[in-house]
Amino acid sequence: MGVAGDIWSEWLLNQRFAHLSETERADTLRALRFFRDTTLEHADIHPGQTLIDLGAGTGLLAHRAAELVGPQGRVIAIDVSQKSLRELDHRDSPAPLLRVAADARAVPVDASSADRVVMRSVLIYIEAVEQVLRECARVLRPGGRVAICEPLNARRYNTVSLENASPELRAALQGMQASKQAAASPMARMAPDYLTSCATAAGFDVIHSVVIDDVEQLADADAVERYVCRVSAPGRPTIAQQYEQALGSTAWGELYQRWLEHARQQPFEWRTPMLYLAAVARR
Ligand SMILES: C[S@@+](CC[C@H](N)C(=O)[O-])C[C@H]1O[C@@H](n2cnc3c(N)ncnc32)[C@H](O)[C@@H]1O
């Protein structure tokens, strides 16, 4: 089935790993495994269950979930990006693995037919968060569980000091942070309370909501130069372009020099709070 807006596959397969050194790539893969394992732990998966990976992409969660549900279970990987699903290798899967090109707002799965729904980094890209969660509640059997992992990108921060920064840079950064948090986007809205209230309204009882920081280290000035060339999602400007747009070129120039200077002395960290939420469909 063809689905419009297939912008994700190139980013998932290539772009997100561009501008990474070998070490950074290994660190990224390690972080992805941590997000996967923590989400699936919160899903409390048992052999024989039917599990839906919603917004499955190339199958980060689906592949591991297939091992957990085993040959008596079943995994349904759903995504709008048909090209990403094509990369999701289903041939040697330990459990039957179905790939379905569809929108998370209208899941083509019967009501009360799944035991688990898992999602990682999907809701921040969809306006209709509550509608997607209502779909999750509909397809789950009563007592079934949804486990979600979403990055709180609007709360990302780094550990570079702003001591002696110009008042212009401080003001520009404050303005950038305020407009990030005020933006009318699902990414800006995503927060523990927000997701809990959407899940509750959609028919779930939330049993677990925790935030664990993902820590990414930029080891030296070369790492900073590579970092600002990255594209964090399909169709987005590079990190450097985003900062320049938000801060203006003078303030961005000052900030970038601070990052480089800091990294020449010692590594610095970017911290992204990651929200993990598990909820049970009401009986
Ligand atoms: C950041 S990727 C995450 C992919 C995968 N969950 C993972 O952990 O690697 C976001 C995914 O959400 C999918 N997506 C975005 N909007 C969607 C929608 N409305 N319905 C279904 N999938 C959607 C994209 O196609 C993409 O594969």
Segment 83-138, tens digit of pLDDT: 999 988 878 899 999 999 999 999 999 999 999 999 999 999 999 999 999 999 99
- Residue 3 is predicted with a pLDDT of 45
Do the domain assignments include residue 258?
Answer: no
Looking at the predicted structure, is the pLDDT value of residue 172 above 80?
A: yes
Q: Which tens digit of pLDDT belongs to each residue from 217-226?
A: 999 999 999 9
Do the domain assignments include residue 114?
Answer: yes
* Beta strands per DSSP E along the chain: 50-54, 74-79, 97-101, 114-120, 140-151, 157-158, 204-218, 268-281
Do the domain assignments include residue 3?
Answer: no
Do the domain assignments include residue 13?
Answer: yes
Q: Which amino acid appears at position 137 of this protein? A: A
Angle CA 124–107–151, to nearest 5? 15
| Ligand 1 centroid from CA 251, angstroms | 34
* Residues 98, 88: Cα–Cα separation, whole Å: 10
Mean pLDDT confidence for 235-262: 96
Do the domain assignments include residue 172?
Answer: no
Tell me the three state secondary structure of residue 238. strand
Closest residue (by CA) to atom 11 of ligand 1? 55
Do the domain assignments include residue 253?
Answer: no
Q: Which tens digit of pLDDT belongs to each residue from 25-51?
A: 999 999 999 999 999 999 999 999 999
Structural domain harbouring 67? 8-158+186-220+270-281
Looking at the predicted structure, is the pLDDT value of residue 2 above 50?
A: no
Mean pLDDT confidence for 58-84: 97
| Ligand 1 centroid from CA 103, angstroms | 9
Total domains in the chain come to 1
CB atoms within 10 A of CB 99: 21
- Ligand 1 pocket mutation, candidates 75, 122, 185, 214, criterion most atoms within 8 A of CB: 122
Q: Which tens digit of pLDDT belongs to each residue from 194-232?
A: 999 999 999 999 999 999 999 999 999 999 999 999 999
- Residue 211 is predicted with a pLDDT of 98
- Residue 5 is predicted with a pLDDT of 54
Give the CATH number of the domain where residue 74 resides: 3.40.50.150
* Residues 206, 43: Cα–Cα separation, whole Å: 12
Question: What are the residues facing 206 on neighbouring strands?
Answer: 279
* Residues 182, 198: Cα–Cα separation, whole Å: 19
| Ligand 1 centroid from CA 79, angstroms | 6
Looking at the predicted structure, is the pLDDT value of residue 1 above 60?
A: no
